[in-house]
Structure 1
Amino acid sequence: MAHINEIKRMRLFLTSLFALFIGISSSTAQVIYKKESKDSLGNTDIVSVGIGKGDSEMDNGEVIVYPRTYGGLTFTRIDWGFSRLMDDGSFTLSDENQFLSYKKASNFGFDIAQFGVRFTDNFKIYLSAGFEWNYWRLKQNVQLLEDVKPLTYAQLDEQAGYEKNILTSTYLRLPLSFELRSRQLQNGKRFKLAFGAMTGVLLKGTQRLKSDKNGKQKFKDGFNLQSFQYGPFLRVGYDNYGLFAKYYMNDMFQDSPQQEGVRNLTFGVTLGF
């Protein structure tokens, strides 16, 4: 129950934070903007949209004066990639953590609000908020027990014919970013580098099972997942496309001594960089 109450307090915190972003959006010019990218054939793709004050090259046809602020609601920095568990620095899980071994693991996330300051044409700092999911397709037929500390699991009936066992963590992500970009190239595009601290507040954990005997089953619980995760991230890219890597420095699970040192590394591609 203590873990559930902690999650509720975190949700109250994130609700207040989201209200702050809404307030920032309301204090800026309420315009809908879109960020576009053109390929070599001249075709245009919309890579991000938003409501508020965008971080554009020009402002009403005039050269932007620095420093300048921007912010509001957005839909950008869409990450899609892979997750890897590290156990005390090794990609090989220890014997006591073999129940967490997985066939596939993926990471997906995006930002929905932002507020930043562009200091020069080449450098800006911004705080954003969004959501992030990790999906672990577990190899073994195990079920994580609800409302139990430390993390505990039960072995499932092998005769039930389980074909799916997916553990999902859902976080509110709150990254603080420092972004550098090159001067505009002849084609109007730039190289970009962003780095900073990625934090996350746990919203929920979910385990989905599917078997011949029991059909589809869904269980929601904190599963001792870390209520607040943090770590560095890095993005490198060209124009509005890039690669990302994130490493969470605290353990994936809390109040679970056997899982101390089990941490999450994610990497993949970014759209709307």
Structure 2
Amino acid sequence: MKINQLMTVMLTGMVGLSALTANAQSDSTKVIKHKKINVSLSFGDKEDSVKKAEAPKGRFMGGITFTRLDLGFSRLIDNGSFSLSPKNKFLDYRGIKTSTVSFDVLYFGYRFNPKFKVYIAGGFDWTLIRLKNNITIQRNTPDLTYVEDPVNFSKNRFSSSYVHIPLNFEFRTKENDKGKRFYLVLGPEVSFLLNGMVKQISSERGKQKFRDDYDFQPVRVGGTVRIGYGGIGLFTKYYFNDMFDSVSQKGLKNMSFGITFGLN
């Protein structure tokens, strides 16, 4: 499926679900039940309340959401090593400023019982690599190439953005006296490339942005594990296929880890 078609499907779903949730109040969640299907507009850990009895029967659920916000760090793995090989040394990056951001905007699933549910989601994912070297990654090339620049970049960021579709298996404990519970969420994920971007800032050239696919994988496959308590947790993601669709970068993969907000 092409990206524009995928986005059309997602937007159509959002419009349809918006119609179902048009009467949502200003509080965090409004639940509409019809024929045992639970549709909600949610922001964070508000799917169930400690004041609400645990439902023993299974039920469908879905809706527009802003949950599972992942903020963390990204790392490149060069054929099993965190050290880049000579052919990939031009991608040397500043670890503390190389980050990832992702979140879900749609979900649909089935809760089998109060402790287990399965759901598929849709959202967006960014990987932001802060390059150390004064180089410019080239656009419209058959392979990932670069040129060295005679300027000193105060920022030289190389990034990718994807639409991601995770399939999550969620296990959770019973609520405690504070209305909190522990979570374990894991599952595979497929992502579709939107675009790549180089953003540079220098005194000589000012601020510049260049967009291209930059040989990023058009389809990325990975897996995610999250553990948490209440609405906050930790996550790690690993992508099984190569980061770039180029011969020279064969075996170069990426992973990320950090904090998750809005577990539910």
Give TM-score, length-normalised by structure 2: 0.86
Identity of aligned residues (%): 40
Partner of 2:98: helix, strand, or coil?
A: strand
1-structure distance, mates of 2:137, 2:82: 22
2:42 corresponds to 1:50: yes
Q: Which amino acid in structure 1 is aligned with residue 48 of structure 2? A: S
* Structure 1 equivalent of residue 247 of structure 2: 257
2-structure distance, mates of 1:137, 1:151: 17
Q: Which amino acid in structure 1 is aligned with residue 28 of structure 2? A: K
* Structure 2 equivalent of residue 39 of structure 1: none
* Structure 2 equivalent of residue 117 of structure 1: 110
Of 97, 107, 128, the match for 2:100: 107
1-structure distance, mates of 2:92, 2:164: 25
Partner of 2:248: helix, strand, or coil?
A: helix
Q: Which segments of 5 or more consecutive residues in structure 2 lack a partner in the other structure? A: 30-39
Partner of 1:257: helix, strand, or coil?
A: coil
**RMSD across aligned C-alpha pairs, in angstroms?**
2.4
Task: Answer yes or no: is the 8 Å Cα contact 1:70–1:116 preserved in 2.
Answer: yes
* Structure 2 equivalent of residue 271 of structure 1: 261
1-structure distance, mates of 2:215, 2:108: 32
2-structure distance, mates of 1:22, 1:125: 23
2:182 corresponds to 1:188: no
1-structure distance, mates of 2:157, 2:54: 51
Evaluate the alpha carbon distance shift between residue 230 and residue 18 of structure 1 in structure 2; reply closer, same or farther with a 3 A threshold.
Answer: farther
Task: Answer yes or no: is the 8 Å Cα contact 1:151–1:223 preserved in 2.
Answer: yes
* Structure 2 equivalent of residue 96 of structure 1: 87
2:47 corresponds to 1:64: no
Of 222, 227, 245, the match for 1:231: 222
Q: Which amino acid in structure 2 is aligned with residue 222 of structure 1? A: D
* Structure 1 equivalent of residue 190 of structure 2: 199
Report how many aligned residue pairs link the two structures: 248
Q: Which amino acid in structure 2 is aligned with residue 264 of structure 1? A: N
Q: Post-superposition shift, 1:214?
A: 1.1
2-structure distance, mates of 1:137, 1:230: 23
Partner of 1:93: helix, strand, or coil?
A: coil
Q: Post-superposition shift, 1:185?
A: 1.7
1-structure distance, mates of 2:18, 2:160: 29
Q: Post-superposition shift, 1:62?
A: 6.6
Task: Answer yes or no: is the 8 Å Cα contact 2:74–2:98 preserved in 1.
Answer: yes
Task: Answer yes or no: is the 8 Å Cα contact 2:55–2:113 preserved in 1.
Answer: no
Evaluate the alpha carbon distance shift between residue 177 and residue 22 of structure 1 in structure 2; reply closer, same or farther with a 3 A threshold.
Answer: farther
The equivalences for 1:95-174 within 5 A come to 95-103=86-94, 104-157=97-150, 160-174=151-165
Evaluate the alpha carbon distance shift between residue 112 and residue 80 of structure 1 in structure 2; reply closer, same or farther with a 3 A threshold.
Answer: same
* Structure 2 equivalent of residue 42 of structure 1: none
Evaluate the alpha carbon distance shift between residue 184 and residue 58 of structure 1 in structure 2; reply closer, same or farther with a 3 A threshold.
Answer: closer
Q: Which amino acid in structure 1 is aligned with residue 256 of structure 2? A: T
* Structure 1 equivalent of residue 167 of structure 2: 176
**Cα-to-partner distance string for 1:30-74 (whole Å, 9 max, x where unaligned):** 635626xxxxxxxxxxxx9639xx843589x67635211111111
Q: Post-superposition shift, 1:195?
A: 0.2
Task: Answer yes or no: is the 8 Å Cα contact 2:17–2:64 preserved in 1.
Answer: no
Evaluate the alpha carbon distance shift between residue 29 and residue 213 of structure 1 in structure 2; reply closer, same or farther with a 3 A threshold.
Answer: closer
Partner of 1:192: helix, strand, or coil?
A: strand
Evaluate the alpha carbon distance shift between residue 64 and residue 31 of structure 1 in structure 2; reply closer, same or farther with a 3 A threshold.
Answer: farther
Q: Which amino acid in structure 2 is aligned with residue 190 of structure 1? A: R
2:24 corresponds to 1:31: yes
Q: Post-superposition shift, 1:76?
A: 1.1
2-structure distance, mates of 1:213, 1:29: 50
* Structure 2 equivalent of residue 16 of structure 1: 9
Task: Answer yes or no: is the 8 Å Cα contact 2:56–2:114 preserved in 1.
Answer: no
Task: Answer yes or no: is the 8 Å Cα contact 1:113–1:129 preserved in 2.
Answer: yes
